[in-house]
Structure 1
Amino acid sequence: MIMDAGVAVLSKLVATGTCVVVDGILKVPPEGTKQRIELRVEKVVDIGEVDPAKYPIPKTKLTLEFLRDHLHLRSRTNTIEVIAQIRNALAFATHSFFQEHQFLYVHTPIITTSDCEGAGEMFQVTTLISEAENMEKDLIKNPPPSEADMEAAKQLVSERGLAVKQLKDAKASKADTGASVVELNKAKEILLKLDERSKLKPGIPQKDDKIDYTQDFSPVKLF
């Protein structure tokens, strides 16, 4: 940037970190200079002055650990600028390669366990909601067994068990005893299914008053 002394007070512009808005003319510099272009300033529109004593990014070698404490300013350093240029070149080369080979770039959703600034309150990946809705519809169509149904099933198992015991005590034939055992097993299976269905409840499954994600397709909360 080239500026005549009468355009503005130079001391206000040279401090590291100063931001300026200027009007001027862009030109190709003379041969032999390092710059690719030069800006000849005709008017200084605005100056964002900086106190050099307080500016946290001085013109000295800074560690990456130090720059992490000043994320909004680290892009002004040479190190971060070079990293950004390298990443830009790599990304451009990758996209160019696949584009030249007739690939289509598609923005697919990124599933993560990180809840960024409460976004999980609005966007969450889960199958529990649809399963809960299907469960509610199923329970309306086929209500869970009543207490009377459970008692009847238990009574049937008891009767079938008593029948098997009586046949064994009477030393009945294997065919009769086997047939009675089959009936007992059927009664037990019916009771087991009724017991499992009686525990079904509408809504998202919970444990300790919290959503039980162990029953989801992923055991952890996803966003």
Structure 2
Amino acid sequence: MAKRPIRRGLDDPTGPIRDAIIGGSFLPNERLIEEDLVRRFKANRGAVRLALARLEQEGLVVREPNRGARVRLVAGKEAVEIMEARAMLEALVARHAAIKLTQQDLRNLHAILRELKSLIAEGDMIGYSGANMRLHTAIVDIADHATAARLLLGLRAQTVIFQYRQTLQPGRVEELMHEHEALVQALASRDPDAAEKAMRSHLDNAADTLKGRLQHGSS
């Protein structure tokens, strides 16, 4: 009898599962069923379990006895704290990015800005959330600041954005677009102070909007 071929899957699906959570493919509190993850990410069950354990350590996943894993829901107070911490870290990142920016980097940032405008025109807020994540990730990559990048990943900042994208009040999307354009312009000037200020202002505004929305919801 011929031997059954050994099924080989993705050695470590942690990154793809993390990206799916951050990008909004999985909703807050959504159950993460191992069998579904095995099929979706073409990984073996042991690798999926290890990935979920790692993501639990990062704060993206909650695992409960006899109930399995689910995407962690970030509460309001923690969401604000994450945004405030992110503002400080990404301001530092923007400062470094302004110094290291290349012309190709700048072209890539402008391409993402065009995509953001198109998604706003289409009213695609889920797509907008993903493009916004790519813009901020691109700036982190340009900065090449490993410690800041690691801390930002640990903050689950993009997950907070996805969970609270409903805080975008009428007119706020347009304001965000102007802030993104000002940020890229500051980076293009290669002025570290201007880039730091633009990023800090952008994320401080996001934190203030979130605070206001949460206070309004509790009143």
Which bin holds the TM-score, normalised by the shorter protein? under 0.3
Give the TM-score normalised by the residue count of structure 2: 0.18
Q: Which has the higher contact order (CA 8 A, sep 6+)?
A: 2
Which is higher, the Rg of structure 1 or of structure 2?
1
Between Structure 1 and Structure 2, the one with more helix by share is 2
Give the TM-score normalised by the residue count of structure 1: 0.18
Between Structure 1 and Structure 2, the one with more strand by share is 1
